[in-house]
Chains A and B, each alone.
Chain A
Amino acid sequence: MGQVIDLLSWAALLGGGFFYVVGAIGLNRMPDIFTRMHAVSVSETLGVGLLTLGMLLQAGITLVAVKLIIIVAVMWVTGAVATHALARAALHDGEKPLLADASGALVATDPVELFPELGVRLATPLKSEIVEEEPAEEEAPEALAETGYGGEEEDANPDAEPPGNAGPDSAGPDSANRDGR
C-alpha cells in the first residue's frame, strides 16, 4: 500500500513539475501578453494542483494536508482573479492582442474594432467604480434642503388629492387613447 502511494506521489510530482516548467517555457516563448497569460495559467492550475496532490499523498490525513488544501484553494481563487484583472488592465491600457489576419500572419489587432461591444464594456465603469455624486460641502445642506422641501410638496399634492382624482384621471387618458385609436 505504501509503495502504491509512493508511486502515485512520484507520478503526480513529476507531472506537476513538467507542467510547471511547460508554463514557464510558454511564458518566454509566447508572442504577446495575452498568450503568455494563457501559458502561465497552465502551470498555476494543473502544475500547482499536481504538485500539491503529490505532497498530499505523502502527508496523509494530517493538519499539514489541511494547510496544503487551503494554500491550493487560495491560489486557485486568487490566481484567476489576478489574471482576470491583469487582462482587463492590459486591454484598458491599449495592449493589442496578436491575431491572425486573412493570410494567417500575426498582426496586432485592436479588439475593439472587431467587437464594438467590447469597447463599450471597457469604457463602462464597473459597478464598484461608479462615482456617487457628492454635493459640494458648503452648498450641500441648502441644496439638499431645497430639493427636499420641493420634492415633499410635489409629492404631497398627488398623494393627498389623487384618491378622488387618480381613478378618473388615469382612466381618462387611457380611455381617450383607446377611443382615439
Chain B
Amino acid sequence: MMFAAAIIAVLIALTLAVARALAGPTAFDRLLAANKIGVGAIMLLALFGFMTERPEFLDVGITYALLNMIGTLAVLKFFRYGALGHAQDLDRDPG
C-alpha cells in the first residue's frame, strides 16, 4: 500500500519530467529531464519490486544508474567538443 503511494508519486514526477523533455527550449533542458526520467525509472523499478514482494531484481537498477550517467555524459561531451573521440583527434581533423 505504501509502495503504491510512492509509485504514484514517481509516476506523477515522470509525467512532469516528460512534459519538460517535450517542451524544453534548449537541449540542456531536455537532457536534464531525460536524466530525471532515468532516475525515475530506477525508483519505479525498485518500488515495483518491493510492491510485488520480489525485490531481487534490483541489480537491473544498478545497470540503469550507470547507463543513465553514460548517456548524459556522452551527450554533454558531444556538446562540448562536437565529437566523442579524444581531444587529439579533434585537433587533427577539421571535419
Contacts and interface: CB of A to CB of B under 8 A. Distances in A.
Interface string B50-76: 100001101101100110110011001
Nearest to A66: B58
A21 B13 contact: yes
Nearest to B19: A28
Interface string A1-31: 0000010011001101110110111011000
B28 A71 contact: no
Contacts of A16: 6, 9
**Main SS of the interface on chain A?**
helix
A93 interface: yes
B6 A28 contact: no
A27 B31 CA distance: 12
A162 B88 CA distance: 41
B19 to A, nearest CB: 6
Interface string B3-38: 101101110111111011001001011011101100
Q: Looking at chain B, what size class is its interface with the partner chain?
A: 35 or more
Interface stretch (A44-52, A100-108, A171-179): A44-52
A21 B32 contact: no
Given A54-B2, A67-B59, A27 B17 contact: yes
A156 interface: no
Query: Which of B13, B29, B69 has the largest number of chain A CB atoms within 10 A?
Result: B13
Contacts of A85: 72-73, 76
B72 A17 contact: no
Contacts of A140: none
Interface string A117-144: 0000000000001111010000000000
Interface of B: 2-3, 5-6, 8-10, 12-17, 19-20, 23, 26, 28-29, 31-33, 35-36, 39-40, 42-43, 46-47, 50, 55-56, 58-59, 61-62, 65-66, 68-69, 72-73, 76, 79-80, 87-88, 90-91
Interface of A: 6, 9-10, 13-14, 16-18, 20-21, 23-25, 27-28, 33, 36-37, 40, 43-44, 48, 51-52, 54-55, 58-59, 64, 67-68, 70-71, 74-75, 78-79, 81-82, 85-86, 88-90, 92-93, 95, 129-132, 134
